Amino acid sequence: MKFSYLITRYLSALIITVCLLVLPTKGHSEEIIASIRVEGAQRIDTDTVLSYIELAEGDEFSVKSVRASVKALYETGYFKDIAFNREDNVLVVVVKENPIVNDITFSGNKNLSDEDLEEIIKLQPNTIYTRSRTKQDLALLQQAYRSKGMFLAKIDIEVDKKDNNQVNLVFKIKEGDKSTVREVRVIGNKNISDEKLLDDLMIQATDWLSWYTDDNTYEQEKLYFDQSQIKNIYLDAGYINVSVDSSIAELTPDRSAFIVTHTVREGKRFRLGDITLQGNFDELPEEELYKELTIAEGEWYSRQQIKFSINKLNDRIGDFGYAFLKINVATDADTNSQIVNLAFNINKGRRVYVNRIKISGNTRTRDEVIRRKVSMVEGDIFSASNLRRTRARINSLNFFKNIKITNPISSDPDKVDLNIEVEEKPTGAFTVGAGYSSAEGFLATASVSQNNFLGRGQKLALSFSLSADTQNYNLSFTEPYFLGKNLSAGFDIFKRTTEPTSSSSYETDRVGVGARLGFPISHNLYNTVSYRISKVEVNNTGTSFSRLIQAQADSSPYLQSMISNALSWNNVDNNLTPTSGRIHKLFTDFSGLGGDVKFARLVSEHQLYWPISDNKKWVGHLTGRVGYTQGILGEDLPIYERFQLGGTGSIRGFKRGGLGPRTNLNEAYGGTMYELANAEIIFPIYGLTEKGVSGFIFTDAAHLHDPDLPSDVTDDETVRASIGAGISWNSPFGPLKMIWATPLIEGDNDQTRIFDFSMGAAF
């Protein structure tokens, strides 16, 4: 089409030229152009047309000049037809303008949005329409879809002519299916296995879960990422001269799938030799700086560990006020000995202080909410670690989509400003959910919350949850900075009904209010004090029940007044998915400040996480918990405050309330003391780690007992134990967990459960 269009244009020019050649000639004076007239121009000014013509009034007619003028006018793109005519000594230029684009729309596009496509094409509304430009845009769109792996996409353009020489353009797109990846392979690797190299790549071969992961589709950007990822794996394993010579995606003959091939040259593997620190920092002894390094002589070279060392040095040295600290690492590799010597060159720059802290971008959130998360104040010496901590603390508010902190030099060269620029995001939420648990049956939840109430950083929430065993309603309010101090204060109004029909023949109905106050003791240590007053009713629900439950029901309702304290120490690296660190908690409850219920309770819990593999994808997890509770001031401990074990939260392989002391009617009675231990190994599931899927194997052991049981309650004092495995998945439908467990040691009257399943969703 383009070729024929060009032929038409140049034939027109040739005809005009021939006509001019055969025009009759008179005397020399009759070859002089007396005037030039332009016809057909509408949007284009006549003077603009004349500016491209190489002839003017008073010039002699020239075929060469006419030919050049025709070419120049076509090259402007303004015109689709041009003709030069002579009327005696008047040169008449007849033009027909190309139409103007009025509107551009797209149809059939799903994988690329209209906004994406508009950025790709060159044609825009109010620009000149030509066939050549549409051809260019069609090629650009085709290339964009190919880069997304959609090689079967078909794109056509529909031109709808309008009045006033305007056109509407419609790009009609049939995307087709993405060309999937049939195989991913690595060539040239000898020392690092295919499995290790391929595991973290964005492009994976098609498997049975590809419908969900979508990692079996080819995209050019993914291929470039995978190429650098393979190189990084080698650099972190000591192969400093590695090269990924090519990463090629080849289409199968039917164009429905790709074969992706990465070609690698490994080179030799290097160990670290001498590691030295050089530069002008002398505020600390050199041995203190060496302690910050995460590498040592004799270890395999690792670029990642070198970066970790630089970051730690930046924090340590930057805390002395050096905001413009620069640390460069010089490498000296000996190919023969396969040793790399490292020299950390430290240029500390100038010591500076904080001048002003400026906050911008917050339209809803008040300045003080952000400012109180800043770990420095005006006049402080600059601290690199406090700057990093500030970013983390502001991010933990979860009020902002983006946080940008810069520290430019102020008018005083010895001071810097802290510019904190934020972009807010919605902080209110309405969620409803549904799910199923093998322990509680069908579940329903709903909540309305505002985490940044009135822009003050306060949290207001109303929620309820319903299941076969429990109904829970709660209204809560939290002020994170009570009285302008680093104190978290709040209150709760609650109603909770519990009916454990699978293990007992009674229900409890609790209604009350509570208040709490929390405060940090140190960076990792936090304490919360709370008070709760509630009315508790115990009701019989079964056709037969023990005298103990009858006695509890006869004495209800109870007025319970309780003060509690929770002390927690936490240094895990990630609160959602920890891979290293510890958590220690101590809970104490005292009920008896008025009311009918008098008891004391103490629970101590300890958790340890540690990475088993270098990439922290295999993680060990230990939990130990002990509890003790007892009636005081001559009062017995009510049955609903006794410890119950069993289920996914304690010892798996047993029903909730399925072990420990039981009444003569085999009802769960609970105990006053327990010891619990869980050991887990959490591991990735190949190809699904990035989708939030992980597996785990475990063993649990627990002992629930009471040294002073009534005569019609029995307890065989057996330590229970179980082993099992499970899968955890943060699915699109909500968190899902499946657990298979087998009791190794159980009592004669215990209630066991081999399989536990839970799933919930918010939408």
Domains of the chain: which residue ranges?
2-97, 100-174, 180-265, 271-347, 353-424, 426-476
Q: What percent of the chain has pLDDT over 90?
A: 48
Average the pLDDT over 251-270 and give the result. 90
Question: Residue 368 pLDDT > 80, yes or no?
Answer: yes
pLDDT (tens digit per residue) in 198-244: 888 888 888 776 766 678 888 888 899 999 999 999 999 999 999 99
pLDDT for 121 beyond 80? yes
Could you tell me if 399 and 359 are in contact, meaning their C-beta atoms sit under 8 angstroms apart?
no
Please check whether the two domains, 2-97 and 180-265, share a CATH topology: yes
Q: What average pLDDT does range 560-571 have in this prediction?
A: 96
- E-assigned strand segments in 653-719: 662-663, 673-684, 693-705, 713-714
Q: Which residue has the higher pLDDT, 521 or 575?
A: 521
pLDDT score of 478: 94
* CA–CA–CA angle 46, 52, 54 (5° rounding): 115
Mean pLDDT, residues 91-118 taken together: 91
Q: Which residue has the higher pLDDT, 150 or 701?
A: 701
- CB–CB of 507/541 below 8 Å? yes
Q: What pTM did the predictor assign?
A: 0.66
Q: What is the dihedral of CA 226, 227, 231, 233, to 10 degrees?
A: 20
- Position 1 scores a pLDDT of 45
Please name the amino acid found at residue 744: L
Structural element, H or E, at residue 762: strand 755-762
Is the pLDDT assigned to residue 377 strictly greater than 70?
A: yes
Closest CA to 13 of 82, 60, 78: 82
C-alpha–C-alpha distance, residues 150 and 25, integer Å: 63
Asked whether residue 492 carries a pLDDT value surpassing 60, the answer given is: yes
Can you tell me the mean pLDDT for 65-81? 89
Range ranked top by mean pLDDT from 246-250, 375-379, 566-570: 566-570
Segment 177-206, tens digit of pLDDT: 777 899 999 999 999 999 889 888 888 888
Q: Report pLDDT for 432.
A: 64
CATH class of 2-97: alpha beta
Domain spanning 271-347: which CATH class is it, in words?
Answer: alpha beta
Give first-to-last CA distance, the chain, whole Å: 52
How many other C-beta atoms are found inside a 10 Å radius of the C-beta of residue 308?
A: 15
CATH level 3 topology of 100-174: Ubiquitin-like (UB roll) (3.10.20)
Structure tokens at 214: 């979508």
Architecture of domain 353-424: Roll (3.10)
The most confident of the ranges 7-11, 361-365, 620-624 is: 620-624
Mean pLDDT of the chain: 87
Indicate the pLDDT class of residue 433, thresholds 50, 70 and 90: low
Domain 180-265's class? alpha beta
The predicted-structure confidence for 272-283, as pLDDT tens digits, reads as follows 999 999 998 888
- Per-residue confidence (pLDDT) for residue 24, from 0 to 100: 46
Q: In Å, what is the CA distance from 60 to each residue of 31, 113, 727? A: 5, 57, 90
| Confidence category of residue 502, pLDDT binned at 50, 70, 90 | low
- Helix, strand or coil for residue 550? helix
- Please tell me whether residue 288 adopts helix, strand or coil conformation: helix
Range with the largest mean pLDDT of 91-95, 540-544, 620-624: 620-624
* pLDDT-based confidence at residue 22 (cuts at 50, 70, 90): very low
pLDDT digits (tens, 9 = 90+) for 524-544: 899 999 999 999 998 876 666
Query: Which pLDDT belongs to residue 4?
Result: 53
pLDDT of 591 higher than 60: yes
